[in-house]
Amino acid sequence: MPEGSARFLREFVSEGETLLAQAEEHLSVLSEGSEDPSPQTLNALFRAVHSLKGVAGMVGLPAFAEAAHAFESLLDAVRRGQLPFDLVVANATRKSVEALRKGVAEVAKKGSDSPFPLAYFALIEKARVPRVTVVRPEPEVSLPPDLAAVISEYERTRLVDSARKGKTLVVLPLEFTFDGFDEGLRKAMGQASAMGELIGTFPGASASPDGLSFQLLVAIPEGVSARDLARSAAAAAFHVLEVSFPAPLPGALEEPPVVEAPAEVAEAAPTTAFAPETTVRVDLEKISHLLDLAASLAVARAELRRALLPIVPRVDDRAALREVQRAMAGLDAISAALSRAALATRLVPVDFLALRLSRAVKQLAKSLGKEAELFIFGAETELDKVLADQLADPLMHMVRNALDHGIERPEEREAKGKPRAGRLELRAETRGRDVLLALSDDGRGVDAERVLARARERGLVAAGESPRAEEILFLPGFSTADEVSEISGRGVGLDVVRENIRALEGTVVLSSTPGAGTTFTITVPMTLALVESLLVTAGGRSFAIPASAVERTLPADQERYEMVRGRASLRDEAGLMPVVRLETLLGLSSTGNLRTGVLVVAQQGPARAALVVEEVLGLSDLIVKPLPDDIPRAREVTGTAEREGGGLTLALDAGLLVLRASEGES
């Protein structure tokens, strides 16, 4: 591991051991009775592995994070009901936990991670192949509209699965006063979990102005009555949801046949010919319109709230006020859910591209007599569907290029001491207002002399000039292949790739190390993105910093600063970093000093800075819309996002902030 301090690694080992102990405990519970595994336990196991992946990523252990990600994907498929928790999965789960434990031990011993063996990934992949797909009618559950608006995809999966298993679905409305509501809610949730499956806890519309209300959605097995559940959870009422099973289609079989899913298509199409169509193609224009309407609704809601505020104290009718409050709470929940749902229709994870590329890698490598595998990092990074579609071709071209020109034949690789199979890596991340996609291979790299000689032969470079090989490769008409190959030499060169990326207002850069490999880095501005952000206040305003750039936060009054070249600096195990107030960096007037508030340690590559903010409000997934270039402003401000409850947050480019903070040092 090139970066990261001993302290982080110690924290990782400690956290990792705790999470793995939890995972083992959940696994042992699951193994006891795998006939109908407890969804809560499955979910808890998934969350433990998900957290482990997150911690590994935070402290810079990519190989470990990659291994945890593969395992997490398997568990996700199981918890969503796409795979049964059978012996194959149980075996892969047990072995994965063991492998991750060894991985943690290795980090503890060596202070770094190393790639997990291919057998580990192969075991997980094998377990992920759907063995049997049975088509069952999908039950329809009549959810109240307020719940339907806020329920998550996972919760919906649990709801449908429970209905399918004949469980009774109950909604328990709970009413608390502000004092002590947490205690009451905890007790009710505990009771619900003990008597059935607590699918979710949702806000309710409080009947009293100083009260808080919730709704628990619970699935109870046969033999447990809804009335008993309500009594145990101290709920004044209960509501049993209606479940209906749609009638089979005319001509459909009563019991649809069991269908064996072919391994090659299993990933993409785990359904059968009898499955009803579950997707519909929608014009992107319509989706954009829906997004705009959702945004306008959020603004109208905020305006309504603002308009009501001065009126409320003048109204004596308490009942009417309660009605207004109830309606506003409902509107808030629906508006927030609508915004998220509308955005979700246009955002796709990088996985969307990765699946296509992954197949292409396998097929192309085979046709070239080579071996190669594609590894994806940041697969959860979400992109606008339009952008993802436009990036698919350039990426495919680069994959072809890497396999054709970069990755050597297996024998040649062995002779060089490399593994027989070439390794392609696709890394996706958001940086400021850009999306970065880097495709690397561990092939032979660019032979600069050969590239220059070929360019001269073709008259692309004048005799006296010696441009860099990385630039020549993007010249129109350039190719080093001696023959037009089946794969990449079809007259479409890297110049076309560059043009395509330029059309998206992006850049593509190639870097190469002879003998070790080549990396193409595409940078394109986001058109739309969901960015996990740390919300902070500075200068009395709220700002969002991408969570991926935040190393940690510390109370400002407990740290000791050093004066280095007349500037306050903070020293930790990894070195020295400048300390500066965020509002000062942004040119806003400051009321605090370096000892009031919270330190946010932000990083950009090896550079770090401690930014002093007034308050950290928490983490939030924000829909960040980039600000057009022609709106004049501090260049650290890259976009805007609507806050829940109205108002805007300005999204900041952490890289530029770190750079600005460091500028003053020299």
Which residues in this chain contact other proteins in the complex, by CB under 8 A?
291-296, 299, 302-303, 539, 541, 586-589, 625-637, 639-640, 642, 646-650
DSSP 596-657: SSEEEEEEETTEEEEEEESEEEEEEEEEEEEPPTTS-S-TTEEEEEEPTTS-EEEEE-HHHH
Task: Give the separation between CA 468 and CA 470, rounded to whole angstroms.
Answer: 5
Q: Which is nearer to other proteins, 169 or 586 (CB)?
A: 586
Least CB distance from residue 225 to other proteins, whole Å? 48
Q: Residue 608 burial by CB count (10 A; 0-12/13-18/19+): exposed, middle or buried?
A: buried
Least CB distance from residue 640 to other proteins, whole Å? 5
Q: Which is nearer to other proteins, 101 or 305 (CB)?
A: 305
Task: Give the separation between CA 217 and CA 151, rounded to whole angstroms.
Answer: 10
Q: Which is nearer to other proteins, 62 or 626 (CB)?
A: 626
Least CB distance from residue 496 to other proteins, whole Å? 26
Total residues found in the chain within this entry: 666
Least CB distance from residue 112 to other proteins, whole Å? 40
| 3-state SS track over 342-393 | HHHHHEEECHHHHHHHHHHHHHHHHHCCCCEEEEEECCCCEEEHHHHHHHHH
Least CB distance from residue 661 to other proteins, whole Å? 15
Chain Cα centroid distance, residue 490: 36
Q: Which is nearer to other proteins, 354 or 526 (CB)?
A: 526
Q: Which is nearer to other proteins, 558 or 589 (CB)?
A: 589
Least CB distance from residue 541 to other proteins, whole Å? 7
Q: Which is nearer to other proteins, 45 or 650 (CB)?
A: 650
Least CB distance from residue 528 to other proteins, whole Å? 10
Q: Which is nearer to other proteins, 394 or 539 (CB)?
A: 539
Least CB distance from residue 203 to other proteins, whole Å? 24
Least CB distance from residue 391 to other proteins, whole Å? 22
Least CB distance from residue 637 to other proteins, whole Å? 6
DSSP 84-146: ---HHHHHHHHHHHHHHHHHHHHHHHHSS--PPPHHHHHHHHHHHS---B---PPPEE---HH
Q: Which is nearer to other proteins, 303 or 471 (CB)?
A: 303
Q: Are the C-beta atoms of residues 599 and 559 closer than 8 Å to each other?
A: yes
Task: Give the separation between CA 78 and CA 161, rounded to whole angstroms.
Answer: 12
For 92, the 3-state DSSP assignment is: helix
Q: Are the C-beta atoms of residues 151 and 159 closer than 8 Å to each other?
A: yes
Least CB distance from residue 286 to other proteins, whole Å? 14
Least CB distance from residue 631 to other proteins, whole Å? 4
Q: Which is nearer to other proteins, 496 or 648 (CB)?
A: 648
Q: Which is nearer to other proteins, 509 or 656 (CB)?
A: 656
Angle, vertex CA 359, rays to CA 507 and CA 47, nearest 5: 85
Task: Give the separation between CA 534 and CA 528, rounded to whole angstroms.
Answer: 18
Q: Which is nearer to other proteins, 136 or 502 (CB)?
A: 502
Task: Give the separation between CA 641 and CA 569, rounded to whole angstroms.
Answer: 32
Q: Are the C-beta atoms of residues 204 and 174 closer than 8 Å to each other?
A: yes
Task: Give the separation between CA 549 and CA 566, rounded to whole angstroms.
Answer: 27
Q: Which is nearer to other proteins, 15 or 583 (CB)?
A: 583
CA dihedral 339, 341, 345, 350 (to 10 degrees): 100
Beta-strand ranges (E) seen in 237-353 are: 239-240, 243-244, 347-349
Strand partners, 175: 213
Task: Give the separation between CA 376 and CA 385, rounded to whole angstroms.
Answer: 18
